[in-house]
Chains A and B, each alone.
Chain A
Amino acid sequence: MAASSRRNPPPLPGAENQDPLSEMAGEDSDEGEDIFVGNSNPVAEAFQPDTANGEEPADLFSEAETSTAVNSSITTSKSNGVHSDNENDLFAEVSVELSMENPSTTAKSSGAEFTPSLTLSATQPESMEQLEEEKDEDSFDMEVAVTNPEKIGDGMNAYMAYKVSTRTTLPMFRNRTFSVWRRFSDFLGLYEKLSVKHSLNGCIIPPPPEKSVVGMTKVKVGKDDSSSADFVERRRAALERYLQRVVCHPSLLQDPDVREFLERDELPRAVGTHTLSGAGFLKMINRASDAVSKMTIKISDSDAWFDNKLQEVESEELQLRKLHAVVDSLVNHRKELCGNTAVFAKSMAMLGNSEDNTALSRALSQLAEVEDKMETLHQEQAASDFFILAELLADYIRLLGAVRGCFEQRMKTWQRWQEAQSTLQKKREVEAKLLWANKPDKLQQAKEEITEWEGKVTQYERDFDRISVTVRKEFLRFEKQKSKDFKSQIVKYLESLLQSQQRHVKFWEAFLPEAKAIA
């Protein structure tokens, strides 16, 4: 978090920006979490190659002056590590190398439709080496949380509303902290919109949690038991992770729909997300046909990288599914263990009651209590197994599906290009024939068509190149995120196991003297 920063404040007028800097300087080192200020300050990303040398800092950061936090780190050639100000050391760097070192590749990336306004560019470096060397950039000026599930309404028309709270210093939002109420279909609607807009570019759109008619019905009907509570909690956590992934994604965050989702008080009801609606059916059919076509497309790609990665993704997905199934089994067995332990504890207590040797009787009752405590431990452990491990795996299985979708999108683009090329070829053949047959007016038309298709071929080729770059970038970003996620979640899980064992030790240590006291 507090990695050394090499941020040179741009030549903004007025020294008023210096003071907030020094304030932040003092605070940032220790309290990085609370203070969003000063971390990953946005860097203008979509430079045109010509302006890549930071010659227009003023234009791009005109918006910046309104926010005290923003002092973008446009790098000049000084960016190679020379700090001009001491305060800058305390601010985390934000992919400074990006804009300067690779003017050529930035041009292509502009196809990813970054708006010229400030963007987060946490992991945007273009060259392969930079992509892989980039330090973990996990500081964002953005925090979202999904909390307070509340049941609105009654009966079958009831629904759960969730509070979506955002805390940010990004200037594109009206306030720094704000919250809105959203329902599940709103989240799905957001996904649909983002999907439509961005999946064609090869972006990996985080998939939302799954619908569950059974689960929701229970909640609607008002079944007030632990399984409903579990379901709601599970959904809340999943929605939170979903949103966090969305806002983590630099280009998705820029999307006005995302902003609207986070900010706007009343959101129009998302249509087409209802399970049994016509749109729903249509989607199912489309997906089915997509699946068929996926199997038939195979790019004779000179770049084996994509093929290899796709294979990796597929095999990884397989393993994760397997793992998820086993973890599920573990959760069930632990719940079983929990139940059986409780029953056993009661039985032990009864036995202790009927035992007529007093010391033994007491020891047996104590054993019953220990087993009772074990039951609680098992229950917590099962929850841990589920919420930390199983859900992580489920999320990534879905995400890998989205990644595959990305690759498939690229394949489709390639196919379109190939088809255009073959159409062009045909048109040329037609022209040749017409030339030979000497029909001037048809010839004119043929020539026009050829020009048209030549243009298309060029366009599609460019599209393909562009999407290849995006997919590659997205994939590397995804891999990094995945690596981080898995590590942190698994460590969290192990820590929960650790705590459980510590309490284990305590309970049995308390029991041992009781057992020894039997006489």
Chain B
Amino acid sequence: KLCKQYFPVDILSKILSINVDLQTDATLQVDISDALSERDKVKFTVHTKSTLPNFKQNEFSVVRQHEEFIWLHDSFVENEEYAGYIIPPAPPRPDFDASREKLQKLGEGEGSMTKEEFTKMKQELEAEYLAIFKKTVAMHEVFLCRVAAHPVLRKDMNFHVFLEYNQDLSVRGKNKREKMEDFFKNVVKSADGVLVAGVKDVDDFFEHEKTFLLEYHNRVKDASSKSDRMIRSHKNAADDINRIASTLYTLGTQDSTDVCKFFLKVSELFEKTRKIEARVAADEDLKLADLLKYYLRESQAAKDLLYRRGRALVDYENANKALDKARAKNKDVLQAETSQQVCCQKFEKISESAKQELIDFKTRRVAAFRKNLVELAELELKHAKGNLQLLQSCVGVLKGDT
């Protein structure tokens, strides 16, 4: 009953900070113009503006849910044609469980706190809920924009259906059996991945990329989880300052002596500083933690690309060996030749596009980090200066009084 049913979300696309150098050209622009949060699902309004002939209109919107995004992503992954590209990582599932739980606990504990405390906490939890909501919308939007910006993926049929078809795509979530299948597929894949990774590549570029990505991915994963923990501690400290402010306020309202007035002033100060502290934690979350999380997923997608290429290389080498054997035995040579040709083509096609993709990945990464680190530093500065000013003026007033 405490969960807000509706969060209007019109400025969300501006929050987009993860992906930077997305060429937004007029031929195809995609964004999420609105979002609605219901019981246990979120409904995104996907808005498209396009001059491409493929679409019936120049501007249109549809409503999509998270599962449909996943369906789209998976269809890219399973498409052999796209084996040579870094598939933009799927957006994470909207997860309001923690927030909802907190709101529920608050509702249960309503009797045990003062009205002011309750209203305050409720406001904060609602703000937290809103923040998570904004983030999930941003993640989904980033995914669509990446697809729209990709020269090949943007032409994909499924993508156009996703954007245009204004009925439910009837993409049901995977049932238990399918999930089990996925699980085993992943196990096999990672085992295979290890084998494939063990094969030394003749091409220096790819060999270097392989080593680099492996190490990078692991370290980003580490940094991502550590940044989460650090930011959580920060939030906890800000919460404590909030409670200190409340208690000081109570102390200050007990009487009208000097000391009580003093307490009230200090309480006011802490109210303000903790808002700033909360903003610091939120900004760190957005600029640092989210950045790391995103590149965790993208570096995984890049690794997947390398795996596919590695797989194709192994297939090609195996086809070569088979051809040699066939020639030696002089049996099924034509078949072996065709097979080898196919493998060769596949491998070369992947290699070619993979190289470009990986270079683009690097450029994007550097640009995104630059943008976010600069913004992070600027925000940290802004907040620290804000805090400083508050403290200076308060200390000045307090000292002047005594």
Contact = CB atoms under 8 A, between A and B. Distances in A.
A347 B222 contact: yes
Given A319-B251, A340-B229, A340-B233, A516 B257 contact: no
A337 B248 contact: no
Interface in B353-369: 362, 365-366, 369
Contact of B402 (A312, A347, A479, A487): A487
Nearest to A339: B233
B384 to A, nearest CB: 4
B255 interface: yes
Nearest to B208: A356
B388 A357 contact: no
B233 A316 contact: no
A349 B254 CA distance: 51
Interface string B360-400: 00100110011001101110110011011001101100110
B216 A355 contact: yes
Interface stretch (B52-60, B144-152, B236-244): B236-244
Interface in B253-310: 254-255, 257-259, 262-263, 266, 269, 273
Contacts of A518: 366, 369-370, 373-374
Contact of B388 (A316, A490, A502, A515): A502
B392 A505 contact: no
Nearest to A495: B395
A367 B370 CA distance: 12
Contacts of A360: 365-366, 369-370
Report whether over half of chain B's contact residues are helix, strand or loop; otherwise say mixed. helix
Contacts of B222: 347, 350-351
Q: Which of B220, B223, B398 has the most CB of A within 10 A?
A: B223
Given A326-B240, A483-B258, A497 B391 contact: yes
A293 interface: no
B259 A482 contact: yes
A490 B262 contact: yes
Interface residues of B, number: 57
A408 to B, nearest CB: 22
Interface residues of A, number: 57
Contacts of B236: 333, 336-337
B38 interface: no
Contacts of B13: none
Nearest to B395: A494
Given A323-B251, A501-B384, A505-B384, A340 B219 contact: no
A486 B398 CA distance: 12
A420 B362 CA distance: 93
Contacts of B394: 494
Given A336-B236, A344-B223, A504 B384 contact: yes
A411 B241 CA distance: 39
Contacts of B37: none
Given A351-B222, A363-B370, A515-B374, 20 more contacts: A322-B247, A336-B233, A337-B230, A340-B226, A343-B230, A344-B227, A347-B226, A354-B216, A360-B365, A360-B369, A363-B369, A490-B262, A498-B392, A498-B395, A501-B384, A501-B388, A504-B387, A505-B381, A518-B369, A519-B366
Closest 5 CB pairs of A and B: A337-B233, A330-B240, A518-B370, A504-B384, A515-B373
Interface of A: 312, 315-316, 319-320, 322-323, 326-327, 329-330, 333-334, 336-337, 340-341, 343-344, 347-348, 350-351, 353-357, 359-360, 363-364, 367, 479, 482-483, 486-488, 490-491, 494-495, 497-498, 501-502, 504-505, 508-509, 511-512, 515-516, 518-519
25 contacts: A323-B247, A327-B240, A330-B241, A337-B237, A340-B229, A340-B233, A344-B230, A351-B223, A359-B366, A360-B369, A363-B373, A482-B259, A483-B262, A486-B262, A487-B262, A491-B402, A494-B395, A495-B395, A498-B388, A501-B387, A508-B384, A509-B381, A512-B374, A518-B366, A518-B373
Interface of B: 212, 215-216, 219-220, 222-223, 226-227, 229-230, 232-234, 236-237, 240-241, 243-244, 247-248, 250-251, 254-255, 257-259, 262-263, 266, 269, 273, 362, 365-366, 369-370, 373-374, 376-378, 380-381, 384-385, 387-388, 391-392, 394-395, 398-399, 402
